[in-house]
Amino acid sequence: MKKIIVFIMLLISISYAHGQEKKRVAVAPATGNAEVGVQNALTEALFEAVANSEKYILLERANFDQIKKELSLQQSGFVDDEQIVELGRLAGAELVLISSINIVNNNCLINYRLVDILTGTVLNRAKKTANFGTILEVINAISVEPLFADNNNDKTSPQNLCGCEVQREDFGEKALSRKEIKKVEPQGWRLPTLNELKCMCKNKEKIGGFNYGVYYSSEIKDGNPIGIRFNSCFETGIIGNASIRYVR
């Protein structure tokens, strides 16, 4: 009887271990309209993020270009996500990390998502924004932060880390002038105070979705709006445009 119980427990432990088995991830080269050097930097950052993760096994340098050549596919770049997923499968992956970086209205929009090769399902996704002055800082942050740390589907953060509810994403996809933000403030929301904004910066990874540029506070000093620079969490005057994260 004891032998049977031990055998059953062994089967359970094996099944549990199998269920917890790390999946193999291939990182596809980043796409988009940003220059090739920036695309390559994003690809490298995602390599580092997967390599540092305890959840996945990184397939070292899955040779997408070689597989494309063997299949006589277009050499100018990937056609669509389905093709990338197929290349990942041929590389021996179970999951593929697809990314893009595009320039829109002088801002850089970064998207990356983890796709299950067997089902084609998007398991996780994340989005970041930056301006030209902060793009490399944002990309570098991706390489060292937990993968998909800022992933969420809601537009608001349930945590009251700073004594207020914080929008999940920046308002709009570009930095705005002071005159512009007065026209777009959503009902029931407001700009954070300077102290709230400092707190948001210190908790930016927990809240998620911030870029590493300057954000507006509700306060004015010497006739100019005051904000926080999110790469350092230092206070700064705002003369040009800045990003917005509303609270309530």
d(CA 68, CA 126): 27
In CATH, what is the architecture of 22-144?
3-Layer(aba) Sandwich (3.40)
Q: Is 56 helix (H, G, I), strand (E, B) or coil?
A: strand
246 near 191, Cβ under 8 Å?
A: yes
| pLDDT given at position 7 | 43
Model pTM? 0.55
Cβ(215)–Cβ(227) below 8 Å: yes
pLDDT in tens, 216-247: 999 999 888 999 999 889 999 998 888 888 89
What pLDDT is attached to residue 45?
92
- How far from each other are the two terminal CA atoms of the chain, in whole angstroms? 63
User: Is residue 134 within 8 Å of residue 212, measured between CB atoms?
Assistant: yes
In the chain, CATH 3.40.50.10610 covers 22-144
Average pLDDT estimate for 105-115 = 83
pLDDT digits (tens, 9 = 90+) for 116-158: 888 777 788 888 877 777 788 888 888 888 887 644 444 555 5
Helix (H, G, I), strand (E, B) or coil at 217: strand
pLDDT in the model for residue 57: 86
